[in-house]
Structure 1
Amino acid sequence: MSLMPKLSATLLLSVSLFAATDAEVVAFLKKGIGNNPNISNLQIDVNGKKNVPNMSGWQAYFVNIEADVKQGKDTRHINQNGTYFVSGNVIAPELINLKSGERYNDTIAPDFSNTFYTKANLISGDANAENKIAIFSDPLCPFCRRYVPEALAYMAKYPKSFAVYYYHFPLAGLHPASVTLTKAAIAAEQNGTDNAVLGLYKLDINANETNDQKILDVFNKAFGTKVTVADIRRSSVVKQFESDQNAARSMMVAGTPTVFFNGQKDSSKNKYKEIKVK
């Protein structure tokens, strides 16, 4: 679940002028968001800042928003990231370049942290390759199903040119089955199955299925494995799954596929095609 559209609307109605220190940015956001009576235990932290290219004086603030949100009779805990733009005494939840039409909310992200280039996420190539590509994907996302297998197959042919790191980012709200599938792939690979990730993109399954056993039955039939419900719940699988989710949160990933090329967000997702391969 994402609260960003609702929170942004709240802020637009309450924008005021203030000196743009980190503390005051946080205080302003807390005041605007905290006015919602359905939000409690609100915590906001600035995770980083970045100058906005071609927009002199503007900085993107990357913030983490954590809160309990009341929805009817239920209360859900929300932990998500957001981007806000600050220039002097002005703050905005969205920034668009008038000349180019570029929406900076879509193109600006923190620089990819080297700590997330882990052996567990390296899916192909030499870790010391000239270029590092990080891909966040949901195997049941239609666009991912078209893009990821082709991109991975191409880069795998040039291990000295591309080190490709893959991060499971299932969109549970859109494709509930993808959560269990990605955990099954992690478990299978930990058990010795090769290329389980790529196989996910060929599975024929109801994306709205929520029964773990039914999902695993489809997975096991396709891969010839015997992954159990206990397997997808074991600590090593949960640890890897949560590590990928943490990387996604830190890098402001909101949709799939999201691609980083040599540490920078690649909105085109095709910069790898520009490389003279070896």
Structure 2
Amino acid sequence: MSLMLKLLATTLLLSSLLNATILNKDIENFLKKSFKGNPNIVALKVKVEHRVPVEKLKGWEAFVVSVDATLKAKPKNRNVKQKMIWFSNGEIMTQDFVDMKSGISLKELVSPSFKPEYYKKANLIYGNENAKHKVAIFSDPLCPFCRNYVPEAINYMKKQPNKFAIYYYHFPLPSLHPAAVELVKAAVVAELQGKKDVVLKLYKVNVDAKERDVKKILAAFNSVMKTNIKPSDLNSDAVKKHIVHDLFVADSVMVSGTPTIFFDGKLDKTKRKFREIK
């Protein structure tokens, strides 16, 4: 490549990065002005975390924005963190588009990409980390759909370790399944103890999803796992660290329900892309 072409390519790249930065700042400033009209907000941070091109709308992008606000409350102020999706073409902003034929909100099709650093060794439950395809599963072991889907999907993929690397992230839904919170902690304890096939066995534990008695939850867990995990084991720093990491990744990629599947870094709404691989 000639020196002139190299300089031109560099100039175009810098121009593109500058425009992207300016647009991010425009989005952030617009939202800050909008939110500051709320008298209950005493502190506010707004940041564009991801930009996703909208395939169906030329020139439009979806912006994943994190909002960190401190709200007036008694007896003390309350901190609220939230991720939002906005659409913009650089001149106009809107919160959503709806496909007139399907009735589907385009917001439902937007998801941040799954960053390489989210694939931690501690989350790899089956397969070779250098396998051709990486599959990330977020699940609550007491979610009725997960109870059927997750074991079936894992059993299908684990037979081909050089084709699929399966990464699993605990995502209990405490408002729906309070018992799942303690179950996933117990699962992490069992994994730290070196037990095998913990995740698959987790879906065989039968306990009332509304159960809050830790001893009853652990009795059901230990019966299936052949372990002797005690309530005190659930609160170790190692267990907390693992759960916090899983929830952080879930928040970063905007997981809100279970099961949620990412296939090769992209959200798989069909949850079946792994079956399309020959």
Q: TM-score, normalised by structure 2?
A: 0.84
User: 2: CA distance between counterparts of 1:176 and 1:74?
Assistant: 27
C-alpha displacement of 1:258:
1.0
C-alpha displacement of 1:212:
2.9
User: 2: CA distance between counterparts of 1:109 and 1:263?
Assistant: 10
Q: In structure 1, give the amino acid aligned to 2:150.
A: V
C-alpha displacement of 1:28:
2.6
What are the equivalent positions in structure 2 for 1:38-49 lying under 5 Å apart?
38-49=40-51
State whether structure 2 residue 150 is matched by structure 1 residue 148.
yes
User: 2: CA distance between counterparts of 1:82 and 1:130?
Assistant: 32
User: 2: CA distance between counterparts of 1:266 and 1:167?
Assistant: 15
Contact 2:23 2:90 in 1 (8 A): no
User: 2: CA distance between counterparts of 1:75 and 1:195?
Assistant: 44
User: 1: CA distance between counterparts of 2:230 and 2:263?
Assistant: 36
Q: In structure 2, give the amino acid aligned to 1:227.
A: I
Equivalent position of 2:183 in the other structure: 181
User: 1: CA distance between counterparts of 2:218 and 2:108?
Assistant: 35
What are the equivalent positions in structure 2 for 1:38-187 lying under 5 Å apart?
38-69=40-71, 76-187=78-189
Contact 2:204 2:224 in 1 (8 A): no
Contact 1:82 1:252 in 2 (8 A): no
* CA gap 1:224/1:94 in 2 versus in 1, 3 angstroms: same
Contact 1:80 1:249 in 2 (8 A): no
Q: 1:112 is paired with a residue of what secondary structure?
A: coil
C-alpha displacement of 1:26:
1.8
1:262 pairs with one of 251, 261, 264 = 264
User: 2: CA distance between counterparts of 1:205 and 1:74?
Assistant: 38
State whether structure 2 residue 265 is matched by structure 1 residue 252.
no
Deviation readout 1:54-82 (Å, 9 max, x if unpaired): 21121111112223456787865333322
* CA gap 1:143/1:68 in 2 versus in 1, 3 angstroms: farther
C-alpha displacement of 1:177:
1.6
C-alpha displacement of 1:107:
1.8
User: 2: CA distance between counterparts of 1:77 and 1:171?
Assistant: 21
Larger radius of gyration: 2
1:213 pairs with one of 212, 215, 224 = 215
Q: In structure 2, give the amino acid aligned to 1:144.
A: C
Equivalent position of 1:9 in the other structure: none
User: 2: CA distance between counterparts of 1:222 and 1:205?
Assistant: 11
The answer for unaligned runs of 5 or more in structure 2 is 1-21
Deviates more, 1:93-102 or 1:138-147: 93-102
State whether structure 2 residue 238 is matched by structure 1 residue 236.
yes
Contact 1:137 1:256 in 2 (8 A): yes
Q: In structure 1, give the amino acid aligned to 2:225.
A: F
C-alpha displacement of 1:34:
4.3
Q: TM-score, normalised by structure 1?
A: 0.84
User: 2: CA distance between counterparts of 1:121 and 1:213?
Assistant: 26
User: 1: CA distance between counterparts of 2:147 and 2:42?
Assistant: 38
User: 1: CA distance between counterparts of 2:231 and 2:203?
Assistant: 21
Equivalent position of 2:10 in the other structure: none
Aligned length: 257
1:225 pairs with one of 213, 217, 227 = 227
Deviates more, 1:42-51 or 1:27-36: 27-36
User: 1: CA distance between counterparts of 2:73 and 2:144?
Assistant: 30
Cα RMSD of the aligned pairs, angstroms, is 2.1
Q: 2:247 is paired with a residue of what secondary structure?
A: helix
* CA gap 1:38/1:223 in 2 versus in 1, 3 angstroms: farther
* CA gap 1:27/1:211 in 2 versus in 1, 3 angstroms: farther
